[in-house]
Amino acid sequence: MDSYEYSELLTKLNTKIENIKQIINPSKLTTRLQEITKIEQDADFWSDPKKAGVIQQEKNRALSILKKYNSAKDALNDAKELFDMAKDESDDETIEELFEDANSLSELVSQLEVNMMLSDENDIKNAIVSIHPGAGGTESGDWANMLYRMYLRWAERKGYKIEVMDYQAGDEAGIKDVTFIIKGDNAYGYMKAENGIHRLVRISPFDSNAKRHTSFSSVLVSPEIDDDIDIVLEEKDYRVDTYRASGAGGQHVNKTDSAIRLTHIETGVVVQCQNDRSQHKNKAAAIKMLKSRLYELELEKKKAKEAGVQKSEIGWGHQIRSYVLAPYQQVKDNRSNIAYSQVDAILDGDISKMIEDVLISIS
Protein backbone atom coordinates (compact mmCIF):
# COMPACT_ATOMS: atom_id res chain seq x y z
CA MET A 1 0.00 0.00 0.00
CA ASP A 2 1.19 3.53 -0.80
CA SER A 3 0.02 6.96 0.35
CA TYR A 4 -2.40 7.37 -2.54
CA GLU A 5 -4.08 4.00 -1.82
CA TYR A 6 -4.28 4.77 1.89
CA SER A 7 -5.82 8.16 1.18
CA GLU A 8 -8.38 6.49 -1.08
CA LEU A 9 -9.18 3.99 1.68
CA LEU A 10 -9.76 6.78 4.20
CA THR A 11 -12.12 8.51 1.77
CA LYS A 12 -14.03 5.27 1.19
CA LEU A 13 -14.33 4.55 4.91
CA ASN A 14 -15.41 8.11 5.61
CA THR A 15 -18.22 7.74 3.05
CA LYS A 16 -19.36 4.56 4.79
CA ILE A 17 -19.36 6.30 8.18
CA GLU A 18 -21.43 9.16 6.79
CA ASN A 19 -23.94 6.72 5.29
CA ILE A 20 -24.18 4.88 8.60
CA LYS A 21 -24.71 8.20 10.38
CA GLN A 22 -27.72 8.86 8.17
CA ILE A 23 -29.15 5.47 9.07
CA ILE A 24 -28.69 5.46 12.84
CA ASN A 25 -29.12 9.21 13.50
CA PRO A 26 -26.87 9.52 16.61
CA SER A 27 -28.64 12.69 17.81
CA LYS A 28 -32.00 10.93 17.76
CA LEU A 29 -30.57 7.94 19.62
CA THR A 30 -29.07 10.22 22.29
CA THR A 31 -32.41 11.98 22.74
CA ARG A 32 -34.19 8.66 23.08
CA LEU A 33 -31.68 7.49 25.71
CA GLN A 34 -32.37 10.64 27.71
CA GLU A 35 -36.10 9.87 27.51
CA ILE A 36 -35.49 6.30 28.71
CA THR A 37 -33.46 7.60 31.66
CA LYS A 38 -36.46 9.69 32.75
CA ILE A 39 -38.81 6.72 32.26
CA GLU A 40 -36.57 4.52 34.43
CA GLN A 41 -36.74 7.05 37.25
CA ASP A 42 -40.50 6.63 37.47
CA ALA A 43 -41.47 4.80 40.67
CA ASP A 44 -43.80 2.47 38.75
CA PHE A 45 -41.25 1.55 36.07
CA TRP A 46 -40.70 -2.02 37.31
CA SER A 47 -44.36 -2.66 38.10
CA ASP A 48 -44.68 -4.08 34.59
CA PRO A 49 -41.56 -6.30 34.20
CA LYS A 50 -42.40 -7.24 30.61
CA LYS A 51 -42.67 -3.63 29.46
CA ALA A 52 -39.59 -2.68 31.48
CA GLY A 53 -37.66 -5.50 29.83
CA VAL A 54 -38.55 -4.24 26.35
CA ILE A 55 -37.39 -0.73 27.24
CA GLN A 56 -34.17 -2.06 28.77
CA GLN A 57 -33.52 -4.03 25.60
CA GLU A 58 -34.06 -0.88 23.52
CA LYS A 59 -31.70 1.04 25.79
CA ASN A 60 -28.94 -1.56 25.60
CA ARG A 61 -29.22 -1.75 21.83
CA ALA A 62 -29.05 2.06 21.47
CA LEU A 63 -26.03 2.25 23.78
CA SER A 64 -24.29 -0.53 21.85
CA ILE A 65 -24.91 1.14 18.48
CA LEU A 66 -23.68 4.52 19.71
CA LYS A 67 -20.57 2.99 21.27
CA LYS A 68 -19.64 1.14 18.09
CA TYR A 69 -20.40 4.14 15.89
CA ASN A 70 -18.33 6.53 18.02
CA SER A 71 -15.49 4.01 18.25
CA ALA A 72 -15.30 3.60 14.46
CA LYS A 73 -15.72 7.32 13.80
CA ASP A 74 -13.03 8.30 16.33
CA ALA A 75 -10.60 5.68 15.01
CA LEU A 76 -11.08 6.96 11.46
CA ASN A 77 -10.66 10.60 12.48
CA ASP A 78 -7.52 9.77 14.46
CA ALA A 79 -6.08 7.92 11.47
CA LYS A 80 -6.81 10.84 9.13
CA GLU A 81 -5.23 13.39 11.47
CA LEU A 82 -2.16 11.24 12.12
CA PHE A 83 -1.74 10.55 8.40
CA ASP A 84 -1.87 14.26 7.54
CA MET A 85 0.64 15.10 10.28
CA ALA A 86 2.98 12.28 9.25
CA LYS A 87 2.91 13.42 5.62
CA ASP A 88 3.67 17.04 6.58
CA GLU A 89 6.60 15.93 8.73
CA SER A 90 7.78 13.19 6.32
CA ASP A 91 7.43 10.68 9.14
CA ASP A 92 7.77 7.46 7.13
CA GLU A 93 7.76 5.25 10.21
CA THR A 94 4.34 6.49 11.35
CA ILE A 95 2.96 6.25 7.82
CA GLU A 96 4.14 2.64 7.60
CA GLU A 97 2.42 1.86 10.91
CA LEU A 98 -0.81 3.35 9.57
CA PHE A 99 -0.53 1.17 6.49
CA GLU A 100 -0.12 -1.91 8.72
CA ASP A 101 -3.24 -0.95 10.71
CA ALA A 102 -5.32 -0.30 7.57
CA ASN A 103 -6.98 -3.73 7.61
CA SER A 104 -7.95 -3.36 11.28
CA LEU A 105 -9.48 0.05 10.55
CA SER A 106 -11.44 -1.35 7.59
CA GLU A 107 -12.65 -4.26 9.72
CA LEU A 108 -13.86 -1.88 12.45
CA VAL A 109 -16.01 0.02 9.95
CA SER A 110 -17.22 -3.24 8.35
CA GLN A 111 -18.33 -4.54 11.75
CA LEU A 112 -20.27 -1.32 12.26
CA GLU A 113 -21.92 -1.86 8.85
CA VAL A 114 -22.91 -5.38 9.84
CA ASN A 115 -24.43 -4.15 13.08
CA MET A 116 -26.50 -1.69 11.08
CA MET A 117 -27.70 -4.59 8.92
CA LEU A 118 -28.97 -6.32 12.07
CA SER A 119 -31.50 -3.62 12.85
CA ASP A 120 -34.69 -5.51 12.04
CA GLU A 121 -36.93 -6.18 15.04
CA ASN A 122 -36.46 -9.95 14.63
CA ASP A 123 -32.67 -9.93 14.20
CA ILE A 124 -31.93 -9.98 17.92
CA LYS A 125 -34.01 -13.13 18.46
CA ASN A 126 -32.95 -16.76 18.67
CA ALA A 127 -32.91 -18.71 15.42
CA ILE A 128 -34.84 -21.92 14.73
CA VAL A 129 -32.89 -23.82 12.09
CA SER A 130 -33.97 -26.88 10.11
CA ILE A 131 -31.75 -28.73 7.63
CA HIS A 132 -33.36 -31.01 5.05
CA PRO A 133 -31.48 -33.16 2.50
CA GLY A 134 -32.62 -32.63 -1.08
CA ALA A 135 -31.75 -34.23 -4.40
CA GLY A 136 -28.85 -36.66 -4.05
CA GLY A 137 -29.96 -39.48 -1.72
CA THR A 138 -27.29 -40.68 0.72
CA GLU A 139 -24.95 -38.00 -0.58
CA SER A 140 -27.35 -35.23 0.44
CA GLY A 141 -27.95 -36.81 3.84
CA ASP A 142 -24.23 -36.69 4.46
CA TRP A 143 -24.08 -33.13 3.12
CA ALA A 144 -26.91 -32.10 5.48
CA ASN A 145 -24.88 -33.49 8.37
CA MET A 146 -21.81 -31.53 7.23
CA LEU A 147 -23.88 -28.33 7.26
CA TYR A 148 -25.23 -29.22 10.70
CA ARG A 149 -21.70 -29.62 12.03
CA MET A 150 -20.65 -26.35 10.36
CA TYR A 151 -23.38 -24.41 12.15
CA LEU A 152 -22.68 -26.07 15.48
CA ARG A 153 -19.01 -25.10 15.23
CA TRP A 154 -19.94 -21.55 14.19
CA ALA A 155 -22.34 -21.20 17.13
CA GLU A 156 -19.59 -22.43 19.45
CA ARG A 157 -17.22 -19.77 18.07
CA LYS A 158 -19.87 -17.08 18.65
CA GLY A 159 -20.57 -18.23 22.20
CA TYR A 160 -24.15 -19.20 21.30
CA LYS A 161 -26.05 -22.07 22.88
CA ILE A 162 -27.69 -24.91 20.96
CA GLU A 163 -30.89 -26.77 21.78
CA VAL A 164 -31.66 -29.74 19.51
CA MET A 165 -35.40 -30.12 18.99
CA ASP A 166 -35.43 -33.02 16.53
CA TYR A 167 -32.76 -35.24 15.00
CA GLN A 168 -33.47 -38.00 12.46
CA ALA A 169 -30.42 -40.05 11.48
CA GLY A 170 -30.06 -41.23 7.90
CA ASP A 171 -30.49 -44.89 6.95
CA GLU A 172 -26.92 -45.23 5.66
CA ALA A 173 -25.14 -41.99 6.52
CA GLY A 174 -25.77 -38.41 7.56
CA ILE A 175 -29.22 -37.22 8.58
CA LYS A 176 -32.78 -37.23 7.29
CA ASP A 177 -33.69 -34.04 9.14
CA VAL A 178 -32.53 -31.93 12.04
CA THR A 179 -34.09 -28.96 13.81
CA PHE A 180 -32.29 -26.95 16.45
CA ILE A 181 -32.40 -23.55 18.10
CA ILE A 182 -29.36 -21.25 18.17
CA LYS A 183 -29.67 -19.03 21.24
CA GLY A 184 -27.87 -15.71 21.58
CA ASP A 185 -28.01 -12.04 20.63
CA ASN A 186 -28.59 -11.53 16.90
CA ALA A 187 -28.63 -15.28 16.24
CA TYR A 188 -31.48 -14.89 13.76
CA GLY A 189 -29.94 -11.73 12.30
CA TYR A 190 -26.87 -13.71 11.28
CA MET A 191 -28.51 -17.03 10.44
CA LYS A 192 -31.15 -15.52 8.14
CA ALA A 193 -28.31 -15.21 5.60
CA GLU A 194 -28.14 -19.03 5.57
CA ASN A 195 -31.78 -19.49 4.61
CA GLY A 196 -31.87 -21.28 1.24
CA ILE A 197 -30.43 -24.09 -0.85
CA HIS A 198 -26.80 -25.15 -0.34
CA ARG A 199 -25.01 -27.09 -3.11
CA LEU A 200 -22.02 -29.39 -2.68
CA VAL A 201 -19.74 -30.75 -5.41
CA ARG A 202 -17.20 -33.40 -4.40
CA ILE A 203 -15.72 -36.80 -5.10
CA SER A 204 -18.21 -39.10 -3.40
CA PRO A 205 -16.90 -41.13 -0.45
CA PHE A 206 -19.84 -43.50 -1.10
CA ASP A 207 -18.98 -44.17 -4.74
CA SER A 208 -16.48 -46.98 -5.31
CA ASN A 209 -15.72 -45.47 -8.73
CA ALA A 210 -14.71 -42.17 -7.07
CA LYS A 211 -16.95 -40.12 -9.32
CA ARG A 212 -17.87 -36.50 -8.74
CA HIS A 213 -21.34 -35.97 -7.25
CA THR A 214 -23.53 -32.92 -6.69
CA SER A 215 -25.71 -32.77 -3.58
CA PHE A 216 -28.25 -30.31 -2.24
CA SER A 217 -29.65 -29.50 1.19
CA SER A 218 -32.04 -26.78 2.28
CA VAL A 219 -31.57 -24.65 5.38
CA LEU A 220 -34.74 -23.10 6.79
CA VAL A 221 -34.31 -20.34 9.37
CA SER A 222 -37.04 -18.70 11.45
CA PRO A 223 -36.93 -16.27 14.38
CA GLU A 224 -38.07 -17.79 17.66
CA ILE A 225 -41.16 -15.69 18.17
CA ASP A 226 -42.07 -14.07 21.46
CA ASP A 227 -45.26 -14.96 23.27
CA ASP A 228 -46.59 -11.45 22.66
CA ILE A 229 -46.66 -11.98 18.86
CA ASP A 230 -50.26 -12.82 18.06
CA ILE A 231 -50.50 -15.80 15.72
CA VAL A 232 -53.84 -17.61 15.73
CA LEU A 233 -53.32 -21.38 15.63
CA GLU A 234 -56.19 -23.68 16.52
CA GLU A 235 -56.12 -27.47 16.86
CA LYS A 236 -58.21 -27.86 13.72
CA ASP A 237 -55.46 -26.10 11.77
CA TYR A 238 -52.90 -28.88 12.15
CA ARG A 239 -52.56 -32.66 12.27
CA VAL A 240 -50.76 -34.31 15.19
CA ASP A 241 -48.70 -37.48 14.75
CA THR A 242 -46.74 -39.22 17.47
CA TYR A 243 -43.76 -41.46 16.91
CA ARG A 244 -40.98 -43.14 18.82
CA ALA A 245 -38.09 -40.82 19.55
CA SER A 246 -34.70 -41.79 18.18
CA GLY A 247 -31.10 -40.82 18.78
CA ALA A 248 -29.56 -39.67 22.04
CA GLY A 249 -31.66 -39.60 25.18
CA GLY A 250 -31.33 -42.92 26.94
CA GLN A 251 -33.54 -46.00 26.91
CA HIS A 252 -36.76 -44.14 27.67
CA VAL A 253 -36.90 -42.23 24.39
CA ASN A 254 -36.76 -45.48 22.46
CA LYS A 255 -39.68 -47.06 24.33
CA THR A 256 -42.39 -44.41 24.18
CA ASP A 257 -44.12 -42.45 21.42
CA SER A 258 -43.14 -39.14 23.00
CA ALA A 259 -41.98 -37.46 19.79
CA ILE A 260 -44.44 -35.09 18.12
CA ARG A 261 -44.94 -34.16 14.48
CA LEU A 262 -47.28 -31.30 13.58
CA THR A 263 -48.44 -30.73 10.01
CA HIS A 264 -50.11 -27.42 9.22
CA ILE A 265 -53.00 -28.38 6.95
CA GLU A 266 -53.24 -25.19 4.90
CA THR A 267 -49.55 -24.64 4.17
CA GLY A 268 -48.12 -28.15 4.54
CA VAL A 269 -45.47 -26.85 6.97
CA VAL A 270 -44.16 -29.71 9.14
CA VAL A 271 -42.35 -29.40 12.47
CA GLN A 272 -41.09 -32.13 14.77
CA CYS A 273 -39.89 -32.23 18.35
CA GLN A 274 -38.46 -35.06 20.42
CA ASN A 275 -36.08 -33.33 22.79
CA ASP A 276 -38.11 -34.07 25.94
CA ARG A 277 -39.45 -37.28 27.48
CA SER A 278 -42.82 -35.63 27.97
CA GLN A 279 -45.13 -35.76 24.97
CA HIS A 280 -46.96 -32.70 26.28
CA LYS A 281 -43.76 -30.66 26.50
CA ASN A 282 -42.74 -31.78 23.03
CA LYS A 283 -46.15 -30.74 21.70
CA ALA A 284 -45.88 -27.31 23.35
CA ALA A 285 -42.42 -26.82 21.85
CA ALA A 286 -43.64 -28.01 18.44
CA ILE A 287 -46.55 -25.57 18.51
CA LYS A 288 -44.15 -22.72 19.22
CA MET A 289 -41.92 -23.86 16.36
CA LEU A 290 -44.92 -24.09 14.04
CA LYS A 291 -45.97 -20.57 14.94
CA SER A 292 -42.43 -19.38 14.24
CA ARG A 293 -42.44 -21.13 10.85
CA LEU A 294 -45.79 -19.61 9.92
CA TYR A 295 -44.57 -16.19 11.00
CA GLU A 296 -41.44 -16.60 8.87
CA LEU A 297 -43.54 -17.88 5.97
CA GLU A 298 -45.64 -14.72 6.04
CA LEU A 299 -42.47 -12.62 6.05
CA GLU A 300 -41.13 -14.61 3.07
CA LYS A 301 -44.39 -14.24 1.16
CA LYS A 302 -44.29 -10.50 1.68
CA LYS A 303 -40.67 -10.27 0.52
CA ALA A 304 -41.27 -12.61 -2.42
CA LYS A 305 -44.28 -10.61 -3.54
CA GLU A 306 -42.26 -7.41 -3.43
CA ALA A 307 -39.41 -9.03 -5.38
CA GLY A 308 -41.59 -11.10 -7.72
CA VAL A 309 -39.91 -14.35 -6.58
CA GLN A 310 -41.59 -17.73 -6.22
CA LYS A 311 -40.70 -20.57 -3.85
CA SER A 312 -37.85 -22.81 -5.03
CA GLU A 313 -37.48 -26.57 -4.95
CA ILE A 314 -34.36 -28.20 -3.51
CA GLY A 315 -32.30 -28.75 -6.63
CA TRP A 316 -30.44 -27.29 -9.57
CA GLY A 317 -30.50 -23.58 -10.22
CA HIS A 318 -31.91 -22.52 -6.85
CA GLN A 319 -28.87 -22.54 -4.59
CA ILE A 320 -27.72 -19.53 -2.60
CA ARG A 321 -24.21 -20.92 -2.19
CA SER A 322 -21.99 -23.56 -3.81
CA TYR A 323 -19.30 -25.52 -1.99
CA VAL A 324 -16.90 -27.10 -4.49
CA LEU A 325 -14.38 -29.63 -3.15
CA ALA A 326 -13.37 -31.13 -6.53
CA PRO A 327 -11.81 -30.62 -9.04
CA TYR A 328 -10.84 -27.37 -7.25
CA GLN A 329 -11.71 -25.99 -3.81
CA GLN A 330 -13.92 -22.94 -3.53
CA VAL A 331 -17.03 -21.70 -1.78
CA LYS A 332 -18.99 -19.07 -3.68
CA ASP A 333 -22.03 -17.18 -2.47
CA ASN A 334 -24.46 -16.26 -5.24
CA ARG A 335 -25.73 -13.15 -3.44
CA SER A 336 -22.49 -11.42 -2.50
CA ASN A 337 -20.83 -12.94 -5.60
CA ILE A 338 -17.70 -13.49 -3.50
CA ALA A 339 -15.60 -16.66 -3.71
CA TYR A 340 -13.64 -18.06 -0.76
CA SER A 341 -10.74 -20.51 -0.93
CA GLN A 342 -10.59 -21.49 2.78
CA VAL A 343 -13.02 -24.37 2.27
CA ASP A 344 -11.83 -26.52 5.19
CA ALA A 345 -12.07 -23.59 7.60
CA ILE A 346 -15.56 -22.71 6.37
CA LEU A 347 -16.82 -26.27 6.80
CA ASP A 348 -15.30 -26.15 10.30
CA GLY A 349 -17.53 -23.21 11.20
CA ASP A 350 -15.49 -20.18 10.12
CA ILE A 351 -18.43 -18.57 8.30
CA SER A 352 -18.88 -15.20 10.02
CA LYS A 353 -17.07 -13.24 7.30
CA MET A 354 -19.10 -14.98 4.60
CA ILE A 355 -22.37 -14.20 6.40
CA GLU A 356 -21.36 -10.58 6.95
CA ASP A 357 -20.50 -10.16 3.27
CA VAL A 358 -24.00 -11.37 2.42
CA LEU A 359 -25.68 -9.04 4.93
CA ILE A 360 -23.79 -6.06 3.54
CA SER A 361 -24.45 -7.00 -0.09
CA ILE A 362 -28.23 -7.36 0.35
CA SER A 363 -28.63 -4.21 2.43
pLDDT per residue as tens digits for the range 248-267: 443 334 445 788 889 999 88
pLDDT at 346 over 60: yes
Q: Which of 44-58, 142-156, 179-193, 322-336 has the lowest mean pLDDT?
A: 44-58
Long-range contacts of 200-207 (CB under 8 A, 24+ apart): 200/139, 200/143, 200/146, 200/322, 200/323, 200/325, 201/322, 201/323, 201/324, 201/325, 201/326, 202/324, 202/325, 202/326, 203/325, 203/326, 204/139, 205/142, 206/138, 206/139, 206/142, 206/172, 206/173
Burial 231-250 (b: 16+ CB within 10 A, else e): eeeeeeebeeeeeebebebe
- Alpha carbons 261 and 274: distance in angstroms, whole number: 9
Phi, psi angle pair for 309, to nearest 5°: -110, 140
Q: Which range has the worst mean pLDDT, 72-86, 235-249, 335-349?
A: 235-249
Indicate the domain borders of the chain.
Answer: 3-117, 127-361
**pLDDT tens-digit map of 221-244:** 999 987 666 677 888 888 988 887
Q: What is the Cα 333 distance to its own chain's centre?
A: 15
Share of the chain above pLDDT 90, in %: 50
Give the least confident one: 248-252, 262-266, 279-283, 344-348.
248-252
- The reported pLDDT for the residue numbered 51 is 87
In the predicted model, what is the mean pLDDT of the chain?
86
Architecture per CATH, domain 3-117, reads as Up-down Bundle (1.20)
State the pLDDT at residue 318: 65
pLDDT at residue 146 above 90? yes
Question: In the CATH hierarchy, which fold is given to the domain comprising 127-361?
Answer: Alpha-Beta Plaits (3.30.70)
> What pLDDT is stored for residue 256 in this prediction?
59
- In 10 A of CB 270, how many CB atoms? 18
Q: Provide the pLDDT for residue 308.
A: 56
Q: Where residue 155 falls among pLDDT bands split at 50, 70, 90?
A: very high
